[in-house]
């Protein structure tokens, strides 16, 4: 099973149009909404117009923009004096106070509620800047997701080159935590490059489940590219995706192929 997920749906109009175009061109099979961003309402409208409700999850936001709850905005651990998120994955979050845990749980529920309030049932949860893979954040998110009926949470990147031994141990432990909670949908998660790296290590015809992450945007020439990379590379997103054998068969987190109905 292959899932190709487009992150940052709802960030702004440009990202929204790029992601919908990706669906139409068969370059992604899933996307995740940012509930607190300016383009959120437009993204939800596009979800319904393009019949994407079976293909859209939530992109939990704790590092960018403003929170949806006043309680979160008053906590200096998460927000600055202007009540804008400042939590960053560059500073590991191994523990939170009881007050911080409760505020985080309230904010997660508010973001879930906003998506559902716009008619998006939420196929899964991942996060902006992978903040849900911080141990203390995951420890709050997991029980909230289960209580809210969210079926899946994205793994932490667990394949590809350049992962130190210490990071591999951490990634193993966190993914094991998600697996024990029955919230992991795939065996592996990473970029297109990570997927290709893994395929080189596997025996031929070995079947694995993999989520590929992309960040679709348009360049100055209106070509779809992956915003994760330097725009000057001049490599189109289609060229990247076509490196994946069988990309046409990618599905959403609930197993649905876009346009198959």
* Residues with Cβ within 8 Å of residue 19, at least 6 apart in sequence: 6, 8, 9, 28, 31, 43, 216
Q: What is the largest CA-CA distance in the chain?
A: 55
Task: Return per-residue pLDDT of the chain as tens, 261 residues.
Answer: 999 999 999 999 999 999 999 999 999 999 999 999 999 999 999 999 999 999 999 999 999 999 999 999 999 999 999 999 988 755 778 899 999 999 999 999 999 999 999 999 999 999 999 999 999 999 999 999 999 999 999 999 999 888 999 999 999 999 999 999 999 999 999 999 999 999 988 877 788 999 999 999 998 888 898 988 655 556 889 999 999 989 999 999 999 998 754
Q: Are 71 and 107 in contact (CB under 8 A)?
A: yes
User: Phi first, then psi: what are they for 39, rounded to 5°?
Assistant: -90, 10
Residue with tokens 């509620």: 113
Q: Count of residues for the chain? A: 261
Q: What is the dihedral of CA 229, 234, 237, 239, to 10 degrees?
A: -120
Encoded tokens for 187: 């065996």
Encoded tokens for 105: 């749980």
Query: What DSSP letter does each residue of 215-235 carry, written as one string?
Result: -EEE-TTS-EEETTS-GGG--
Distance CA 44, CA 51 (A): 10
Distance CA 209, CA 189 (A): 9
The DSSP output letter for 123 is: S
Question: The pTM is what?
Answer: 0.94
> Per the CATH hierarchy, to which homologous superfamily does domain 2-196+203-249 belong?
Glycoside hydrolase/deacetylase (3.20.20.370)
Distance CA 128, CA 197 (A): 24
């Amino acid at each position: 099973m292959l899932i190709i997920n487009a992150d940052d749906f709802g960030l702004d109009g440009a990202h929204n149009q790029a992601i919908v175009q990706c669906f139409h061109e068969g370059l992604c099979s899933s996307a995740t909404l940012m509930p607190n961003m300016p383009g959120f309402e437009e993204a939800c409208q596009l979800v319904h117009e393009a019949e994407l409700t079976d293909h859209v999850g939530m992109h939990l936001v704790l590092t960018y923009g403003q929170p949806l709850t006043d309680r979160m905005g008053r906590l200096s651990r998460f927000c600055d004096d202007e009540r804008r998120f400042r939590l960053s994955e560059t500073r590991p979050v191994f523990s939170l106070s009881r007050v911080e845990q409760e505020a985080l749980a309230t904010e997660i529920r508010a973001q879930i509620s906003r998506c559902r309030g716009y008619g998006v049932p939420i196929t899964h949860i991942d996060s902006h800047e992978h903040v849900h893979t911080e141990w203390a954040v995951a420890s709050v998110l997991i029980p909230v997701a289960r209580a809210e009926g969210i079926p899946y949470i994205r793994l932490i990147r667990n394949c590809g080159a350049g992962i130190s031994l210490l990071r591999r141990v951490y990634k193993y432990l966190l993914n094991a935590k998600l697996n024990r909670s029955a919230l992991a949908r795939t065996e592996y998660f990473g970029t297109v490059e990570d997927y290709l790296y893994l395929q080189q290590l596997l025996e031929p015809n070995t079947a694995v489940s993999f989520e590929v992450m992309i960040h679709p945007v348009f360049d100055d020439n209106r070509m779809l590219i992956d915003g994760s990379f330097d725009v000057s590379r001049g490599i189109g997103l289609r060229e990247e995706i076509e490196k994946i054998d069988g990309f046409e068969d990618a599905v959403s987190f609930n197993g649905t192929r876009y346009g198959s109905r």
